[in-house]
Structure 1
C-alpha cells in the first residue's frame, strides 16, 4: 500500500492510496482525527455520536518520501511507500509509530426469523430471565470490514484504559484483552500511554487488544472504515480532557450521590425500605441512598415496571417517608420484559422490540420514549430519585452457566455472537450507551431541577455525559478479587469514565453451600463458575466481616460509595453492635466519607468544569517516579489524598480462625513531595516506603504536603446544614491553591454558570492562608460560616462573610 497523491480540502487533508484513501482533520491543536476508508467517503454517522468541531488548522508538506502533517502541537509523518505513521510532539519527541492499517473485506450476516413466527425459549438465570429466539438465523449479508490498527510500542511503554475486565490487568503490555459487553466486563474503545498520548477508536463493534509476539494491535470486528482520534497531552489529565471533548463532558451527579448508598439483593417490601432507613437514622449513621433491587413486580411478570401492590401498596407514600428522613430512593429497572406482560405487549404493538422479543430497542428514539413512559407511570411520579439500570448488556446469558469458566476467546465469541445476532455486528457494544441516553434525555424533559443518577452495569465511551455511574458487576468475595478491583477501577478511570463503583463486600459470598445462596438460587444445587465466594457462613464468619470492612474502607475512596450483594446481609447492625470492632469500623468509615464531603464535591465540580479524574492512578501525578508507575494498589483520591487499601487479612482467616500477625501495612509514598499521615499528622519524606499501623478501623491515608483540606463535621446526609463550623486543615511544605466548589446540589443550573469556585491560597513561606472573595451563597457553601483553621497543633477561628480574608500563623 502506497501514497499516490494528496489534496488539501476545506478543513482536511486527503491522501490517495493505491488501496483507498486517508483523511486527516485537526480537531484541536493536540487532537488529529484519522480515517482510512476504501469506500471513498467519510459521511457515515459516528458510532459514538461524535460531532467534532475542527478548531485546529492542519498543515501538510510534501517531502520526497513522506507527507508531513502538523496541527500546532502534533506532527505526523506518513511514509509514502508503506503508509506507516510516526507521531511526534511539538518538540520532535516520538510518541508512537504505527504500522500500515488494515481493512479486510468481509460479509456481515443479518439475522431474522424464518417462517414468520418466533420460537422463543425462556431461561431463568441468576442474572435474570433471558429470552432466546431459536429460529433466528442469518438470511442475508452486507459488506463490511475487519479493521486493524497496528502499533510499534516502545520497550518501556505502558498501556492503560480499555474499560474494565475481570482479570485485574493494570498494564496491558504483553496481554490480550477481549472488548465485549458482559457482566463484570465493560469495554471502552480508548487507551492511553505513559508516553503522552491516547487513542480513541470511533467504533461500536467488538474489539480485541493484543500485544505479544504476533504484534501490538487493536482489532475491530465490524466497521465501514477505520476512524480514530490521536490525542496528545502533557499529562494524563490533558489526554482525558481530549477524550471528553470528543465524547461529552461528564454530567454532575446530585450532591446526595456522593454520600453513602445502602443496598442488598433484595429488599422485599416498601416497609422494609422504610425500616432500614429509619434504623440508620436511629443509630446516627450517615446515609443518602437506599436501593430497591429487582423482583418488585408481580409473580410471573418479569421486568414489569408496575409494582406488586401486595408488597408495595402505596409506594409514593413510602418514598415520601424516606424523603422526610433525607434519604433518596434508587430503583432497579431492566431493559427486558417477560413476553406477554403489559410492558412487553406495548413494545410489541409499537414494533419497538429487538429480535429476542423481550428487550426493547434502545437505538430507537421512539422506543426510548416508550420505555421512559413506563418508568414514569409508577416510579418517577412516585418520587424515585435515581435508577439502577441493571443488565444493560442484555445478551450475555449464554455464558452465565456451567461449573467451569470458559476460555477467554471462547467467551468472547459466545457472548459476542449473541450481541451481534440481536444488535447487529457494527453496534454490538453500544446498547448500554443508547439505553443511558434514553434515561437521561427523557428524564430531563420532565424537569431540569433533578439531576439524573443512573447506576448501570455496562457503558461505553460517552456514558459519562448521561449521568451514568458504572459498577463492576457481580463479583465474588475473595481477597484476590478485592486486589483486582482496585486495578480495574483505576483502568476504568483512565478510560475517561469518571464515575465508577463496585459492590463493597462483593456480590457473591458463598460457593459450595448452594442452599445459602440468595438471588432465588437456594433451591438449585448446580455449581456455577461465577458464584465463587470464599465464605460459606457469610457474616457468621469473622473472616468475611474483616474482608467486608476492608472492602468498605476502599469503597469509601472511589467516586460513588455503596454496599451491595447477595447471600448475606449488609446493613451495619448485622456486623455487631455499637462498641464492637466491626460495627465501629464500618461506622467510622461511613463517617469519614462525610467528613470529606466538601473535598469530594469540589472534585466533582472539577470533573465537570475541568474534565478532572477523581480516582487517580499514580501515573497522573507522579509520571517520573518509576516505582509509582508500577504501583497497582495505591492511588490518589483527588490531588491531596494518597489511598493505600489493606488487601490482606490481619485478624481472621476462613472459619473464624484468628491470625497472629502484625497490623502494620507497607505503603510507598511517591517522590517529589513530603507526606502527612492523615490520622496522626506525622510527616514522611516522599520516595520512601513506610510501615504504618492499619488497625481494623483505619485505611492507611496520607496527605500531600501543601494540601488544603476542607472538612465537615457530624453530617448525617450530604445536603445537611448542621450549623457546625467548617474545618480547614493545612498541610505545610509547599505553596498551594485549593478551590472549593459550590452549586445548588441538584438541578442543571450549573450548566448555565450557576456555580462558583472559592479560592483558598496557602503561602508556605509566610505561613499565611488567604480565602478569596465571594458574594453568592449556596447550600453547604462557605459564605457566612464559622471556620476553624488548623495548621498542625495550631488553630484559629474566623467567620467568613465573603470579603477576601487573610489568616496568618506567622
Structure 2
C-alpha cells in the first residue's frame, strides 16, 4: 500500500491535477506528422514543429479546425517522432519534447528530455462568456510575458487583460499598455504561446492555486509549448516560429531629434542646423502631426504636407538627406470626417463599417472619425499608396501612432470580423502592410517602422516598438528596463522609451541626463516629449547639454558593437538587452531588472533615482568585470558598493571581451567599417575568448541572406607569459571586402610587453602606463588570417 501511495504522489507531481472530469479518452492516431486524439467532447490535434516546439489545438465537438495563425510562419518539420503505448497512457516522443497522454483520468502533459515542463489542468473549458485553456504550475515558478507591462519582472499573481490600450502618464505600475501578447515564459525555461488573436485575459495564477489560464472571447484553441537548453535558445526557437526581425537601417541606431511636435519646415531645418552647429551627432528627425495640420484636432487623416507650414517638403527632405538626416513622419489609422481625404476614403470603401454597411463613425479626442480597414484589400491598398508616395519623395521612416487602435468600438466591423476579434492584431497587421509594401515597391530598402502597438510575431515586419506615453518622472524612468527586458524575451528586441520621458512638464536636468545615459545602452536612441519641456539636448542649459552630448557621442562610438547586436537579433532572435538570469542562476536575479546585460559583454546599471552617489551592484558570477570608465576590476558572484559619477552610469565590461568602437562621427553616414578601434579586455582568468563583428552596407534589405556582408572573428589565448590574438573573416559571396585599419587596444596588460610580433616580424606599439594599455596599429587584409603574439614580462 505504501508503494502505491508513493507512485500516485509522483504521478501527481509530474502531471498535476487531472483534466475536465467529463472528458474521456476514445482513440489516438498518428499520421503525416499529426497526432489526433479523439475525446468525448472533441479532438486534440498535436503537431511537432521541431524537437523544441510542439503545437496543440483542441477542436470542440461541432467546430472545425482553423489552421490560420497571425503569428506562426514556421512550417512543421517532418521529424522522427514515436507514439508509444505504455499501459494506461501514451507517449508522443520526439528527440526533445514529449507529450504524455494519460487515458483515465484523461490528462495531457509535456516534458523535455525526461523532465516535466507543464501539464493541462482542466484543459479547454467553455464558460458563459469566455473560452479557457487551463494549466498546472509548480509553486516556485517565476512567470514573465504578457507583453509590455510595468509590474515587476515576476508577473505571477496577475490576471492580465489582453486588450491593447494606451496608458498616458504611467510610472512604476501599469497593468495594461499598448502591447499585450498571449505569451508566458517560466523560470523553468519554457514558453507557452497562445496562438489566437481575439481579446481576452491571461491569468497568471491570480487565485494563487498554481493555475495558468488563457481566456478568450472566441477563436482558436491553439497553443505552442517551446523549450530550450538556454534562454537564448528558447527565444531563438520562438522567433523561428514567429519570424526573425530584419536588420534595421544602420542610421536607426543613431540619435533622433523628436518632439510633439515640429510645426513648420522652418522649425525642422533650424533644429537640425542647431544640432550641426553644436556638433551633436544626429541621424534622423521625426515630424509629428503638424506636418498635415496646424492644430492637434480636426486634421487627422489628411496625410499630406500642409503647404502653409511646409511649403516645399520634397526639397526639405532632400536637403535633410544631403545633411545625412533621415525624415520620419507620423501617421495614424484614423480619417476624420473633417479631413481632406474623408470623401475619398468613403467613396473608395476603405473604412471599417457598421452593421448596415456604412462607414462606422464615432468621436474621440482628435475629432469625429472613421477607421481605415486594413483587413479590406481596398483599405490596405489605399493606405500603402500614401506611404509609397511619401517614400518616393525621400521619407525613410514610418511612425505608426495610435495603432492599438486607440479607440476601437466593439460594434465596428472589419472585413474579416468584429473589432474585438482583430483589435490586438491591428497594429501587427498595419506593420505587415508596410513591410509587404516595401518588399513589393522598395525591395532593396530596409524599412524603419516605429509602432505603438503590436502582437506576437510583429518583429518579423521590422517593427520597432516603444513603451508609450511614459511620465517624465523618476518613476517613469524606473519602469523602462523591465519593459524592454520583458519585450526582448517575447521577440521584440527593439523596445525602447521616449528618452527623457514624454508626459508632463517636469524640467529636471538630472532626470533628463540619467535617462539619456540609460539610452546609450537601450535599442533606439530617441528623446521625445511634449513641447512643455525640450526633448532635444540642444535646447537645454550648457551643462546638461554637455552631458547629453557626451552620452550621444558614446552611443556613436559603440555603433559597430551595437550593429553586431542587431545582427545577433536578426540571426538568432537574441535580445539586445538581456536579464542577468540569462547567465547567472542565483535565485534573486530571477526578478532583477535594475541591472542588465547590453549584448554579450556589457553589464549596465542605470541610475533611476535622484542624487545617487554610490550604488550596491551585483556582479554576475563566473566572470571578472572591469569598470568601462576607470578600469577598476570586480570579481563575479559578489555585491560591491560602486561610486556613481555625474557624467555616466555604472557600466562594466566582461573580462576577455572584444569591444569594437568607431571613430568620432556626426552621423552614421560617416561610419567607415574599415577603420575602427578594437578593445580587448585582457585578464589572466580568461584563457580563451572569442568576439565577432558583423558589417554590411547598412541599407540593403536582406544583406546577410544575399551574401552582402562580412563577419570578422577575433580570438584570444592567454598564458602567464604571452597573449595570442587571431583575426579571421567570413566574406559573403557578393561583398567586396577591404583591408581594415585597426587600432588594437589591449587593456590591463600588466606592464609593457617585451615585444609584439606577427609572422616573426616585430610590430610597433604604444604603451600607456597610466591606463595600463597597449595600442597596436594594424592593417589587416581580410582575405588572410592575421595572428599576433604579445610577449609579456
- TM-score, normalised relative to structure 1: 0.83
Is the counterpart of residue 213 in structure 1 residue 207 in structure 2?
yes
1:240-259 matches, cutoff 5 A: 240-259=235-254
3-state SS of paired residue (1:223): coil
Give the C-alpha shift of residue 642 in structure 1. Answer: 0.7
Displacement after TM superposition at 1:752 (Å): 2.1
Q: What is the CA–CA distance in structure 2 between the aligned matches of 1:298 and 1:719, rounded to whole Å? A: 32
Distance 1:429 1:40 in 2: 23
**Counterparts in 2 of 1:696-775, with a 5 A limit?**
696-721=646-671, 725-733=675-683, 734=686, 735-748=688-701, 749-765=703-719, 766-773=722-729
Q: CA deviation at 1:73?
A: 0.3
Q: Distance in 1 between matches of 2:103 and 2:673?
A: 70
What is the correspondence of 1:459-470 to structure 2 with a 5 Å cutoff? 459-470=454-465
Checking the alignment, whether the CA contact within 8 Å between 2:182 and 2:202 is kept in structure 1 is no
Does residue 236 of the first structure (1) align with residue 236 of the second (2)? no
| Aligned twin of 2:578 | 616
* Cα shift at 1:98: 2.4
What CA deviation, in whole Å up to 9, does each residue of 1:476-528 have, x standing for no partner?
11212211122111111111111111111111123xxxxxxxxxxxxxxxxxx
How far apart are the structure 2 equivalents of 1:508 and 1:283? 27
- Give the match's secondary structure for 2:336: coil
Instruction: State whether structure 2 residue 35 is matched by structure 1 residue 13.
Output: yes
Q: Which of 110, 129, 143 is residue 159 of structure 1 equivalent to?
A: 143
Which of 278, 282, 285 is the aligned partner of 1:287? 282
Selected match of 1:334 from 320, 332, 335: 332
For structure 1, which segment, 295-304 or 352-361, has the greater mean C-alpha deviation from structure 2 after superposition?
295-304
Q: Is the Cα contact below 8 Å between 1:74 and 1:232 reproduced in 2?
A: yes
Aligned ranges for residues 605-644 of structure 1 at < 5 Å? 605-622=567-584, 624-644=585-605
Instruction: Output one character per residue of 1:347-397: Cα deviation in whole Å (capped at 9) or x when no partner.
Output: 2222221133411111223321210112333x2222011011111012448
Q: Where does residue 534 of structure 2 map in the other structure?
A: 569
Equivalent position of 1:805 in the other structure: 786
Deviates more, 1:712-721 or 1:337-346: 337-346
Query: 419-428 or 594-603, which moves further after superposition?
Result: 419-428
Counterpart Cα distance in 2 of 1:81 and 1:777: 58
Q: How far, CA to CA, are the matches of 2:466 and 2:522 in structure 1?
A: 11
Secondary structure at 1:4's aligned position in 2?
strand
Counterpart secondary structure, 2:217: strand
Question: 1:422 Cα shift?
Answer: 8.4
Would the alpha carbon gap of residues 783 and 95 (structure 1) be closer, same or farther in structure 2, given more than 3 Å must change?
farther
Residue pair 1:147, 1:225 contacting (<8 A) in 2 also: no
CA distance in structure 1 between the aligned counterparts of 2:410 and 2:640, rounded to whole angstroms: 46
Superposed displacement of residue 558, structure 1 = 1.1
Match 1:664 to one of 597, 614, 627: 614
Q: Is the 8 A contact 1:721 1:780 kept in 2?
A: no
Superposition CA RMSD, Å? 2.3
Matched with 2:19 is none
2: CA distance between counterparts of 1:711 and 1:598? Answer: 6
Does residue 181 of the first structure (1) align with residue 174 of the second (2)? no
Distance apart, 1:340 and its partner CA: 5.1
Match among 28, 31, 34 for residue 50 of structure 2: 28
Deviation for aligned residue 1:289: 1.0
Tell me which of 354, 367, 370 is aligned to 2:379: 367
Deviation at 1:42, TM superposition (A): 2.2
Q: 1:600 corresponds to which residue?
A: 562
Match of 1:680 in 2: 630
| Structure 2 Cα separation of the partners of residues 282 and 57 of structure 1 | 64
Q: Is the 8 A contact 1:25 1:58 kept in 2?
A: no
Return the alpha-carbon distance in structure 2 between the equivalents of residues 78 and 417 of structure 1: 42
Q: Distance in 1 between matches of 2:673 and 2:728?
A: 22
Q: What is the correspondence of 1:770-809 to structure 2 with a 5 Å cutoff? A: 770-773=726-729, 783-792=739-748, 793-802=773-782, 803-809=784-790
1:115 corresponds to which residue?
none
Q: CA deviation at 1:49?
A: 5.2
Superposed, 1:379-418 pairs within 5 Å as 379-396=390-407
Structure 2 residue matching 1:806: 3-state secondary structure: strand
CA distance in 2, matches of 1:684, 1:597: 26
Contact 2:142–2:154, Cα closer than 8 Å, also in 1? yes
Select the residue among 384, 388, 410 that pairs with 1:376. Answer: 388
2:86 maps to 63
Distance across 1 between alignment mates of 2:261 and 2:419: 34
Deviations 1:710-736 (A, max 9, x none): 011212112314699511111124222
Q: Would you say the 8 A contact 2:615–2:642 is kept in 1?
A: yes
- Alignment match, 1:343: 341
Tell me the distance in 2 between the aligned counterparts of 1:105 and 1:499. 38
- Greater Cα shift, 256-265 or 38-47: 38-47
Residue 647 of structure 1 corresponds to 608
Question: How far, CA to CA, are the matches of 1:672 and 1:178 in structure 2?
Answer: 40
Q: How many residues align?
A: 706
**8 A contact 1:676–1:704 mirrored in 2:** yes
Distance 2:732 2:704 in 1: 14
> 2-side partners of 1:479 and 1:782: how far apart?
47
Residues 406-449 of structure 1 show CA distances to partners (whole Å, capped at 9, x for unaligned) of xxxxxxxxx87889998443323110011101111112222223
2:483 matched residue in structure 1: 488
The CA distance in 2 between the partners of 1:239 and 1:720, in whole Å, is: 37
Change (3 A) 1:189 1:782: farther
2: CA distance, partners of 1:159 / 1:279: 47
Given the superposition, is the C-alpha separation of residues 716 and 423 from structure 1 closer, same or farther in structure 2, using an over 3 Å criterion?
A: farther
Say which of 554, 558, 561 aligns to 2:522: 558
Find the residue that maps to 1:291 and give its secondary structure. strand
Deviations 1:254-284 (A, max 9, x none): 0000111120110011121111111111211
- Indicate if the aligned counterparts of 2:405 and 2:423 stay in contact, CA closer than 8 A: no
Q: Is the 8 A contact 1:726 1:787 kept in 2?
A: yes
How far 1:251 sits from its partner (Å)?
Answer: 1.0
Matched position secondary structure for 1:182: coil
Aligned pair in 2 of structure 1 residues 784, 51: CA closer, same or farther (>3 Å)?
closer
Look up the match of 1:89: 112
In structure 1, how many angstroms separate the alpha carbons of the residues matched to 2:160 and 2:747? Answer: 48
Distance 1:438 1:713 in 2: 38
214 and 631 in structure 1: CA distance in 2 versus 1, 3 angstrom threshold = closer
Q: SS of 1:169's equivalent?
A: coil
Does residue 265 (structure 1) correspond to residue 260 (structure 2)? The answer is yes
Deviates more, 1:211-220 or 1:431-440: 211-220
Q: Is residue 32–residue 71 contact of structure 1 (8 Å, CA) maintained in 2? A: no
CA distance in 2, matches of 1:297, 1:596: 36
1:522 is matched with which residue? none
Partners of 1:781 and 1:274 in 2: how far apart? 37
Counterpart Cα distance in 2 of 1:97 and 1:44: 23
| Distance change (3 Å), C-alpha of 1:396 and 1:419 | farther
Distance 2:674 2:545 in 1: 26
Change (3 A) 1:396 1:58: farther
Q: Helix, strand or coil for the counterpart of 1:767? A: strand
Report how far residue 648 of structure 1 moved.
0.6
Q: Is the 8 A contact 2:152 2:591 kept in 1?
A: no
Conserved 8 A contact 1:419-1:425: no
